[in-house]
A and B are shown apart, each in its own frame.
Chain A
Amino acid sequence: MSEEEKKEPQESGTAEAGEQAKQKTAEAEADPEKAAKLKAAAEARAARAAAKAAAEAAEAAEASAPPAPSPKQPELDAAAALIRREVADEALEEVYINELNGHMPTIIVKNDYWRSIAELLKIENDLTYLRNVSGVDYETHLEVVYHLVSLQSGRELTVKVKADREKPEVSSATPVWATANWNEREIYDLLGIVFTGHPDLRRIMMPDDWVGHPLRKDYEPLDSEV
């Protein structure tokens, strides 16, 4: 094979590519539909980029400008002020509005003060009805969530108490709200949180000789096939 022959296909290759590109534009010119599609695609790309930029700008603006205050903010502030005045300044770990849940006022309290806060909320803040108690394993720590409501005014408050994963202890709310009794037993059973001051802390769902607490994230079933 001579060198000329070897060269030829290459040349023809580039020539072909050039031809194809030419053809494409020609086709586009010839076919108005295709041209419109190309144009639309380009426009859509531009629009997307613009929208992204706008969203980023809005986000930045949101971050700099303070968000509108929640309608439940005064309620939350009043409850927090009451606790700080009556119990202790450092009793509250965090105070915030849970916007996702219809602006639910939420406080995180320190376990040492939880019992006296519970009494205060029930008597002074009229939160007589404990509607739900949940336990959550966050892997870094455990948390007990108390959902409270006043049947007179419909005012709500969520109280959270954090517990250490290795030695989980939370003061029991059962002496304040009798309904906490079985709820706390269930949390003890399934998550292994020990409620100090609970009158009857036993397993409630699992058998008495069960090993481990099933709702823990690192729980391993005894029989993996089950």
Chain B
Amino acid sequence: MIRTEELLLNVGPQHPSTHGVFRIVVKLDGEVITEATPVMGYLHRGTEKLAEQLNYTQIIPYTDRMDYVSAMTNNYVLVHAVETMMGLEVPERAEFMRLIVMELQRVASHLVWWGTYLLDIGAMSPFLYAFRDRETIINLFNELCGARLTYNYMRVGGVKWDAPPGWIDKVSEFIPYMEGKLREYDKLVSGNEIFLARIKGIGKYDAATAIDYGLSGANLRCTGVDWDLRKAEPYSLYSRFEFDVPLGQNGDCYDRYRIRLEEISQSLRILKQAIAQFPSGGETMGKVPRAIRPPAGEVYTRIESPRGEIGCHIVSKGKAEPYRLKFRRPSFVNLQILPKLLIGETMTNLITILGGVDIVVGEVDC
């Protein structure tokens, strides 16, 4: 009989497939995982503590650096919380700009996920395709606000910059291009036998478990739970547009993969409608008092980021700085289920399952 020694293995913090500085200590029996302990905090910058000394406009750049793959949605959750507290009206043109950049961001974020996930599993070329197309979106953002990743674009009451001339046309040109590419990528990867063998039926859980663990985004919807905050608790202008919320049935990595790809095409669908209805004129900043001082009290607002429910809990004492600012980060909450999923799996499946959760470590640690 072959006897195997128990082996303690450190995965990370510097490991390409942990997508940042995240570490998992796994106990192995042969190739099978018997225990997994995530270790985090390597990227903890104390954003919430720092925010207590900053005014609300100064906090916006810090939100860019949480989920740095999806900075636009992070901007939005903060300004939305402050606007809710102060009861501010945002001009329609500004709200349209916000919605367009948020949906472009969702496409860009899902492309990063798609490329890196396949790279983790062993396919090199999809990564290059995905990053080529994401670059188009990043160039659009660069033109809009002069930054590739950390945009600092939204403000309390509106957006900082209006679309430069011809920008909207460039976005509408991008939509059919991306739709075509998406079909191509689907053909290239989704039917691949080896790929399907790697992800079908892996990392399975049911709806009750997903809800118990507070999962959100594709991690929740892969079990068939119809909960997308753009539909369930509409914010911004989402109630004006037609789109579907893709759902899974099996709660495995394959369903999460399918949902994220389908979400790209739904985002393109929203973008098409938003551009058709885009107001030709109007302000990009609403009437905002010079000093932004939300009234004393507290508020919790949440939106659907590409990774799930991102929330912002502000406790204000009527000052220019928040008394307490807490971010509910979907990556942090979604990651909790990982140790449970890994028990009994092989080392190769660790990479598949971790990649399927779709984390950004800047957001896990905050």
- Residue ranges of A at the interface with B (Cβ–Cβ < 8 Å): 98, 100-102, 104, 128-132, 134-137, 145, 147, 151, 154, 158, 177-179, 181-183, 186, 190, 203-207, 214-215
- Contact residues, B326-353 vs A (CB, 8 A): 326, 328, 332-333, 335-336
Is there a chain A Cβ closer than 8 Å to B283's Cβ? no
Contact A182 B332 (CB under 8 A): yes
Which among A130, A137, A183, A207 is the interface contact of B324 at CB below 8 angstroms?
A137
Say yes or no for B239: interface residue by CB 8 A criterion: no
- Is B49 an interface residue when CB atoms closer than 8 A count as contact? yes
B166 part of interface (Cβ distance < 8 Å): no
Given the known inter-chain contacts A131-B302, A136-B315, A151-B211, please indicate yes or no for A102 contacting B336, CB distance below 8 A. Answer: no
Q: How far is the CA of A190 from the CA of B213 in the complex (A)?
A: 22
Q: How many A-B contacts at CB < 8 Å in the complex?
A: 93
A151/B227 in contact, CB under 8 A: yes
Known: A147-B300, A154-B233. A214 touches B40 (CB 8 A): no
C-alpha spacing A135/B328, complex, angstroms: 12
Interface-facing stretch out of B9-17, B253-261, B291-299: B291-299
CB of B227 within 8 A of CB of A145, answer no
Chain A residues near B315 (CB-CB < 8 A): 136
Which residue of A has the minimal Cβ distance to B332?
Answer: A182
Which residues of the other chain, B, contact A183 by a CB distance below 8 angstroms?
333
Contacts of B20 in A (CB 8 A): none
B residues touching A (Cβ–Cβ < 8 Å)? 40-41, 44, 46, 48-49, 84-85, 211-216, 225, 227, 232-233, 295, 297-302, 309, 311, 313, 315, 323-324, 326, 328, 332-333, 335-336, 365-366
B299 adjacent to A131 (CB under 8 Å)? no
The reply to whether B84 and A101 form a contact with Cβ atoms under 8 Å apart is: yes
Query: How far is A135 from B216 in the complex, measured between Cα atoms in Å?
Result: 21
Set B49, B85, B328, B366: member contacting A131, Cβ < 8 A: B328
Residues of B within 8 A of A132 (CB): 300, 302, 311, 313, 326, 328
Q: Could you tell me the distance between the alpha carbons of A98 and B324 in the complex, rounded to whole angstroms?
A: 17
A residues in contact with B335, CB < 8 Å: 182
Q: Tell me whether A154 and B232 are in contact (CB under 8 A).
A: yes
CB-CB under 8 A from A203, the residues of chain B are: 41
Q: Cβ of B333 and Cβ of A179 under 8 Å apart?
A: yes
B214 adjacent to A179 (CB under 8 Å): yes
**A206-B43 Cα distance, complex, nearest whole Å:** 10
Chain A at the B interface: mostly helix, strand, loop or mixed? mixed
CA distance A136 to B313 in the complex (A): 10
Q: Which of B44, B301, B365 has the most CB of A within 10 A?
A: B44
A131-B311, A151-B225, A215-B48 are known contacts. Are A100 and B214 too (CB-CB below 8 A)?
no
Shortest CB–CB separation between residue B209 and chain A, in angstroms? 8
Min CB gap A208→B, angstroms:
10
CA separation between A100 and B216, bound complex, in Å?
25
Closest residue of B by beta carbon distance from A180: B214
Bound-state CA distance A92–B229 (Å) is 30
Q: Would B297 and A98 count as touching, CB distance under 8 A?
A: yes
A100 with B85, Cβ < 8 A, contacts A131-B309, A205-B365, A215-B49 known: yes
Whole-angstrom distance from the CB of A166 to the nearest CB of chain B? 20
* Chain B residues within 8 Å of A205, by CB: 40-41, 44, 365-366
